[in-house]
Amino acid sequence: MDRIKKYVVSVVKSGRPVWFGCDMGKFYSAKHALMDPELIDYKSAFDFDFGMTKMERMQFGECTMTHIMVLTGVHVEDDGKPVRWRVENSYGESVGDKGYLTMTDKWFDEYVFQVVLEKRDLPNDVLDVLDQEAAVLPFWDIFGIMGP
């Protein structure tokens, strides 16, 4: 995921948006225009921890791609790693902060499933995968639900 985010950061910092698919139903506050897995502290309130990895949530159908938006900004630390992202939603100015949301990098890790980048933004070793035969996913697969 860090490698993918490195390319996404580069594109966003160049002034171009990046299309992404995510599970919008998780840890999102429309009132606060915030997407953060620490939005609700279930552990302190209910002594309950979900305890599933992203892969386990996908396998058990607890998480699926439900919405597509674009990344339009990123805040990075001195080491170049992202902390939070500016997200433009398709709902218009009435949702979020004039149509924009803040997504923490932790939320990106847990609930973003796809990003779309142009070939020019990727190194050859990543592009080499395009030379492989494509796999056709079953209609029920999480990555077959929405797509570019």
Rounded CA-CA distance 30/16 in Å is 25
Residue 96's Cβ-count burial label (10 Å; 0-12, 13-18, 19+) is: buried
Q: Is 99:92 a contact under the CB 8 Å cutoff?
A: yes
Q: What integer is the mean pLDDT of 68-93?
A: 93
The pTM for the full model equals 0.88
Q: How far apart are CA 27 and CA 112, in angstroms?
A: 12
pLDDT of residue 47: 85
Instruction: Give phi and psi for 84, each to the nearest 5.
Output: -150, 160
Distance CA 80, CA 134 (A): 33
Kind and range of the H or E element at 93? Answer: none
pLDDT per residue as tens digits for the range 111-133: 999 999 999 999 999 999 999 99
Distance CA 61, CA 78 (A): 37
Sheet with 67-76: strands ordered across = 28-29, 34-35, 100-104, 82-88, 67-76, 18-22, 112-116
pLDDT tier at 10, thresholds 50, 70, 90: very high
